[in-house]
Chains A and B, each alone.
Chain A
Amino acid sequence: MYEHDILIVGAGLAGLRAALESIEAGKNTAILSKVHPVRSHSCAAQGGINAALTDRGDNWEDHAFSTIKGSDYLADQEAVEIMCREAGENLIDLEHMGVIFNRDEEGRLGTRRFGGQSVARTFFVGAITGSAMLHVLYEQTVKQNAQVYEEWFVTKLIIEDGECRGVIAMDINSGKLEIIKAKSVILATGGIGRIFEPSTNALICTGDGLALAYDVGASLMDMEMIQYHPTGLAGNGILLSEGARGEGAYLLNSNGERFMEDYAPEYLELASRDVVSRAEQTEINEGRGIDGCVLLDCRHLGKSKIEEKLGYLQEVAIEFRGIDLAEQPIPVKPTMHYIMGGIKTDFMGQTDIPGLFAAGECANVSVHGANRLGANSLLDTIVFGRRSARGAIEYSSQINSISKSKEELNNETKRIQNIINRTNGERSATLRNEMGEAMTSGIGVFRDTKSIKIAKQKVLNLIDRYENTSIDNKGKIFNTDLIFNLELKYMLDVALTICIGAENRKESRGAHYRTDITERDDKNWLKHTHVAKTDGEVQFYTSDVNITKWKPEIRKY
């Protein structure tokens, strides 16, 4: 029988950081992931991790202010204060664990500048910061001999008496469903990128944790806040890091002009991501783009700087587009990248459901608000991954009872067998592609009442059609066909909450920019949006934003 104090679903940075904290506290801990931990999408983070190190004259309050301004004042300020205050300690911990950060001339940690901030406080490992951190955290779990359910897929959360007591999950290698009992569960399943097409995200970013939590009644908060990254590759949307602009690269329009001068005279290319993406889209819409793109120009940085600090970008540019960054500008466009919204949690990762915690991109403690700053996501995963473990440790210490139910396993086995048995239905990919197109055009860099409505109707239509999809693979072993079908349902459920958030927020704030209501409305909408299910009915409500000392101001870069 599988039984733990703390079960962590997802093995990216947030999940692994939580696991290490939990193991260190002596808790019976297990990690469950649908892919091997190092395949998690945290590996694709490139540019770096923010931290204000006080021993070199930086201060966390400045970092906090940049984050809050970047969030267009939607972030909860107490949460931001926690993240920025704890950043330094967490960064040094990572270094002690073995992360190979680039150094300055004195051998201390080196920095680069990132968007939306006036000082350089982004620590980095070339252009593979996420990968370098993920591999080191994985190394630490090897050292701790952590238990990993590798290539297991959660199909349902177990709720007993209103509290989370484990999961039902499939061992992908055998196709068998099992109950994994736990006194508390931490969801750290990452983002939702595949709901959109294209996206910078990996094919595994299907919003599993959000859908699982939503299914059992947890609230999803600010789901309309979708970040479009200014520099995705045209076509399939592979990411080119903000690190390029951090190192000094320009954005040019078809006239060869640095158009950011018109939109953000002070910060230029390093304004907040929502601002830069809107500027790019405006240039493209007004006819100053090139085949639907603008140009990212790194030529003046020189070959050696490109190779030392942006090596992975150069690899991507050459391998996927045949472009040498030192010789030629590369076409880029705003590309769906990140969801600021997510499962609502408190500062200890606690969701609305006792025993259910969340951290990282799937969660929303609200440090990113309406727009996340580059290099704050890695920080979020580490700080709140660790905190969610502390929350779960404390919670699970008070729990004696543990799930007994076998009935749910039988129901779940039947439900999944039904999917396998269905024949002659539509293919999962057909629905996914339609969803991706609808969401990208409806919930884009610019949106309005009509576009949101069309997207929502499409999603509702797809939710109906989902019940008639069928799969080719009727086998048990490594049935990825089945997994994709289950992921599709997760994505559709989450897509609907995004549409509901978007249609209700009647203002423009951060990444949520409506062409029919272009102003921010602090009087009515300095508020979080929530979508949650009560007794199977979808509810929408709002809650106040936590403001400590930074009163909302006009946001200019």
Chain B
Amino acid sequence: MLQTAKKTIQIEIKRQDPEINNGESYNQIYDVEVEDWFTVLDALIKIREEIDGTLSLRCACRASICGSCAMRVNGQAKLVCKTKLSVVEKNNKILVEPVGNMPVISDLVADFKPFWDKFNAVEPYLKPEGEVPEGEYLAPNEDMVHLVGVMNCIMCGACVSDCTVLEVKDNFLGPAALAKSYRFIADPRDGSQFERLQNLEKDGGIWDCTRCMQCVEVCPKDVDPMERIMSIRSKSIENKIDKNYGARHAKSFTDLIKNNGILNEVLLILRTKGLFNIIELAKLLPIAIGAQLAGKRPPFLSHSSKNKNQIKKIFKKLEDK
């Protein structure tokens, strides 16, 4: 066995059981004697096996491959089987809660139905076109190795748990489903790239991501969901699927910087929403008035950076690449 040193850690767990207390959540603290190599999962298993069998949680492989045990540790989503206690404990204490953005069934067990519904919504299966070859489809190894990076996703839900958009917008497909979608969009064997991109342009799709980086931060498998969403955006624009606010915002943003070296927020809004889109523009009036009152209204008139020629050169260099 491994060399060990023991100590006691206070593990505070957010608990919830529909059969107890009308399903109100409450926190319970367990003092657990742990070895120094313990993961958070090791400690939770020790609680349920030796101290309190009523604690519910999901876990299976213990080796960060089955995706069962995503939970929040000290407020951040983690796969607890690969989270060392020694790394997360502060003053010999940790707080464990179920994943966020999903309803709770019991204690640390979340209801993944919304997660899988969104997974299903992106048609998560290969749709090859044309005649099926007798042997395998030929494909470059580098494309496959690139895709393995996405297939690393174990559907643990950590990204969805901590997605800041999902907190305020239920219909956002979310980082896991969008990364899954990218896995097919980038697969040279798939024949429905264009339809997939069209579906993702809609409300709740790729343009809802605010690039907060949370999903990248918490993903235990380095899948980089946000980066995949950005890749889908680029592919959408390449495919001229750009008649939506998201794509127009991105394009106007780029054009304004390219031409003036500096962002003109008023023009950005007008170009994104459309000069004659009175309804959408009217919705922004309260924000404009608020900004005016706070003295933070951006200038109406076009202005430009004095270094704009240099910025143009940077763009040229990038475009020539």
From A44, A100, A234, A308, contact of B66 by CB (8 A): A44
Contact: B145 with A308, CB < 8 Å?
yes
Which residues 276-313 of B have a CB within 8 angstroms of A? Answer: none
Q: Give Cα A55 to B50, complex, Å.
A: 57
A128 touches B151 (CB 8 A): yes
Q: Are the CB atoms of A128 and B2 closer together than 8 Å?
A: no
Specify which chain A residues have a CB less than 8 angstroms from the CB of B65 in the assembled complex. Answer: 43-44, 128, 131, 312
Report how far A106 CA is from B274 CA in the complex, Å: 49
Is B140 interfacial (CB-CB < 8 Å)?
yes
**When the two chains form their complex, are residues A202 and B141 in contact, meaning their CB atoms are under 8 A apart?**
no
Question: In the complex, which residues 98-129 of chain B have their Cβ closer than 8 Å to any Cβ of chain A?
Answer: 105-107, 109, 112, 116, 119-120, 123-126, 128
B135 at the A/B interface (Cβ < 8 Å)?
yes
By the criterion of a CB under 8 Å from any partner CB, how many residues of chain B are at the interface? 59
Q: Is the CB of A236 within 8 A of B64?
A: no
B24 at the interface (CB under 8 A from A): no
Residues of B contacting A320 in the complex (Cβ-Cβ under 8 angstroms): 63, 82
Query: Which residues of chain A have C-beta atoms less than 8 A from B62's C-beta?
Result: 202-203, 236, 238
> Which of B20, B60, B67, B148 sits near A132, CB closer than 8 Å?
B148
Instruction: Give the shortest distance, in Å, between A304 (CB) and chain B (any CB).
Output: 11
CB distance from A317 to the nearest CB of B (A): 11
| Cβ-defined contact, B144 with A100, below 8 A | yes
Q: Which residue of A lies closest to B37 (CB)?
A: A235
Closest Cβ neighbor of A240 among chain B residues: B63
CA distance A109 to B140 in the complex (A): 10
Contact B1 A481 (CB under 8 A): no
Chain A residue nearest to B123 (CB atoms) is A143
A residues 434-461 in Cβ contact with B at 8 Å: none
- How far is B126's CA from A97's CA once the two chains are assembled, in angstroms? 6
Partner of B1, one of A143, A234, A308: A234
CA distance A239 to B134 in the complex (A): 35
Q: Whole-angstrom distance between the alpha carbons of A478 and B189 in the complex?
A: 41
Quote the shortest CB–CB distance from A481 to chain B (angstroms): 4
Q: Which residue of B lies closest to A204 (CB)?
A: B60
A 315-332 contacts with B by CB, 8 A: 315-316, 319-320
Which residue of the partner chain, among A103, A105, A316, contacts B139 with CB atoms under 8 Å? A103
A427 interface residue (CB < 8 Å to B): yes
| A480 close to B (CB within 8 Å) | yes
- Chain A CB within 8 A of B152 CB: yes
Distance (Å) between the CB of B204 and the closest chain A CB?
19
Does A543 sit within 8 A of B, measured CB to CB? no
Contact of B63 among A44, A97, A106 (CB under 8 A): A44
Please give the residue numbers on chain B whose beta carbons come within 8 Å of chain A beta carbons, in ascending order. 1-2, 17-20, 37, 48-50, 52-54, 56-68, 82, 105-107, 109, 112, 116, 119-120, 123-126, 128, 132, 134-141, 144-145, 147-148, 151-152, 154-155, 187, 189
A: residues with CB less than 8 A from B are 35-36, 38-41, 43-44, 55, 92, 95-98, 100-110, 125-126, 128, 131-132, 135-136, 139-140, 142-143, 173, 202-204, 234-236, 238-239, 292, 308, 311-312, 315-316, 319-320, 427-429, 471-473, 475-481, 484
Q: A143-B123, A143-B125, A204-B60 are in contact. List 20 more A-B contacts (CB 8 A).
A: A35-B66, A38-B67, A39-B67, A41-B61, A43-B66, A44-B61, A96-B136, A96-B137, A100-B148, A101-B144, A103-B138, A109-B136, A132-B148, A203-B59, A203-B61, A320-B63, A477-B18, A480-B57, A481-B53, A484-B53
